[in-house]
Homo-oligomer: A and B are copies of this chain.
Amino acid sequence: MQSFIDISRGLRNPADLEALLQSITKEMGFDHFALMQHVDLTPFEKELGHMVTGQLIGLSDYPENWINQYIDDNIVAYDPVLLASQRTNVGFAWSQLDQLIDLKRPHFEQLERGRQAGIGDGFTVPSNVPGEANGSCNFVVKAGRELPAKELMMAQLVGSYAFEAGRSIITHAKTNIVEKTQLSPRQIECIALVGRGKTDWEISRILGIAESTVKDYINDAKARYNVVKRVQMVIRAIYDGHLPLSELLR
């Protein structure tokens, strides 16, 4: 395991990472792997098959027809596995999907289509870095086979470090450190209240200040984020970690 981490850290080439992942996937008793970011692919080039420097992470040894179907049908938009991977930070077996999300008919149909393409059960390690596309490293067995229960912990580690290796291959080529936008405490309070659907007047009553002041804070925050609408401002504040989504639902 330690040697996998050390090797993966030194990689500078997607193909090397792919080969490394392929061998460790077999070693752990899985049949296929897929390391990917969950981006609705339609607006982009159809590049899931390999990694493009400075762009998206996407490596996999899934059967080719499944990869093509995945791209053509834009399955990334509703794959239950990927939805579930946005609900946790540790790996999960696909057989436990229903504990993470509410499985509806299209989800079952999707899993069934996978089985017909040879994709059976799987273990998915989520990889979510704020400000980047959500991603996951998926290890799967052929339909009919069982997951190698004893290797799941290993898969958890491999998945995390593999994804990080992918990120680092990309970001080494790119160097884009985005500074977290600074907001004043008062501004964060206003944004939180905006997120809860309050009007400026209501916020002014809650904070005990003038409506015009509330407008000032919000306008300044929008300017800092370089956006024009308060919806965008709230989204950005969530992404930045200034607000937890759960605070806004109360």
- Chain A contact residues, CB within 8 Å of chain B: 1-2, 5, 37-40, 42-44, 55-56, 74, 83, 86-90, 101-102, 126-134, 153, 156-157, 160-161, 163-164, 167, 177, 179-180, 185, 188-189, 192, 194-197, 227-232, 234-236, 238-239, 241-250
B43–A129 touching, CB < 8 Å: no
Question: Within the complex, which residue of B40, B156, B246 is in contact with A242, where a contact is CB–CB below 8 Å?
Answer: B40
Given A42-B185, A133-B241, A235-B248, 10 other A-B residues pairs in contact with their CB atoms under 8 A = A39-B241, A74-B185, A87-B129, A87-B177, A102-B177, A128-B130, A132-B245, A133-B245, A156-B160, A238-B245
Docked-complex contact A239 and B231, CB < 8 angstroms: no
A–B complex contacts, Cβ < 8 Å, 28 sampled: A1-B153, A2-B153, A39-B243, A39-B246, A40-B242, A40-B247, A43-B188, A56-B244, A83-B241, A86-B129, A86-B244, A89-B128, A89-B164, A126-B129, A128-B129, A128-B130, A131-B245, A133-B243, A134-B241, A134-B246, A156-B157, A196-B232, A197-B227, A197-B231, A231-B231, A231-B234, A234-B234, A235-B249
